[in-house]
């Protein structure tokens, strides 16, 4: 089943394209610096065609990484797949790196704060664990259907929603 992308879905897909822009910038910035070095004659013997190759390469890399998301945004459609929940799980987990200070005894004190705990909610569907928000976890039950919204070309999981 296909549906139109919402503004929230489009924003998520646009947000996913940033990695292509970052990798393109990793090529473009050294190219720009070599162009400036060549212009101000700081270093001799930098051929002009290297600048064109660098700019072309950065555009090509950006296009190769982002093309699937751009096609999904252009087509403005998403696929909806219904799946049955096998199991629901909630567990307490700890945020890595959230402790502050040092303690010889392991107990909290004025100079030591332990790791912060939080609840992690997940659904197990077809032997795959999906981390979800608490609101969705409270709305659905085991053996119920949920809708998975995917971008068709990039296969990006936009979201999981109750039926």
Question: Structural domain boundaries of the chain?
Answer: 2-77, 80-162
From CA 47, how far away is CA 52, in angstroms rounded? 10
- Locate 12 and state its tokens: 């998520």
Handedness of CA 100, 102, 106, 112 (dihedral sign): negative
From CA 93, how far away is CA 118, in angstroms rounded? 5
pLDDT tens for the chain, residues 1 to 163 = 999 999 999 999 999 999 999 999 999 998 888 888 877 777 777 777 888 899 999 999 999 999 999 999 999 999 999 999 999 999 999 898 888 888 888 788 888 888 889 999 999 999 999 999 999 999 999 999 999 999 999 999 999 999 8
From CA 38, how far away is CA 130, in angstroms rounded? 51
Residue 129, CB half-sphere, CA atoms under 13 Å: how many?
8
Q: Over the chain, what HEC string results? A: CEEECCHHHHHHHHHHCHHHHHHHHHHHHHHHHHHHHHHCCCCCCCCCHHHHHHHHHHHHHHHHHHHHHHHHHHHCEEEEEEEECCEEEEEEEECCCCCEECCCCCCCECCEECCCEEEEEEEEECCEEEEECHHHHHHCCCCCEEEEEECCCCCCEEEEEEC
| Closest-CA residue to 156 (of 63, 61, 76, 69) | 69
Q: Is pTM, for the whole model, over 0.85?
A: no
pLDDT score, position 43: 73
């Amino acid at each position: 089943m296909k549906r139109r992308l919402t503004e929230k879905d489009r924003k998520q897909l646009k947000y996913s394209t940033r990695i292509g822009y970052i990798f393109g910038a990793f090529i473009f910035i050294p190219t720009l610096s070599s162009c400036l070095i060549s212009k101000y004659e700081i270093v001799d013997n930098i051929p002009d065609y290297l600048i064109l190759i660098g700019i072309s390469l950065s555009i090509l890399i950006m296009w190769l990484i982002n093309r699937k998301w751009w096609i999904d945004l252009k087509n403005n459609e998403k696929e909806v797949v219904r799946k049955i929940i096998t199991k629901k799980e909630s567990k307490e987990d700890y945020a890595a790196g959230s402790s502050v200070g040092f303690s010889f005894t392991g107990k909290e004190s004025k100079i030591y704060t332990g790791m912060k705990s939080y609840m992690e909610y997940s659904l197990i569907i077809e032997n795959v664990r999906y981390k979800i928000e608490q609101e969705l976890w409270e709305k659905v039950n085991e053996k119920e259907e949920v809708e998975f919204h995917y971008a068709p070309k990039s296969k990006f999981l936009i979201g999981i929603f109750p039926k």
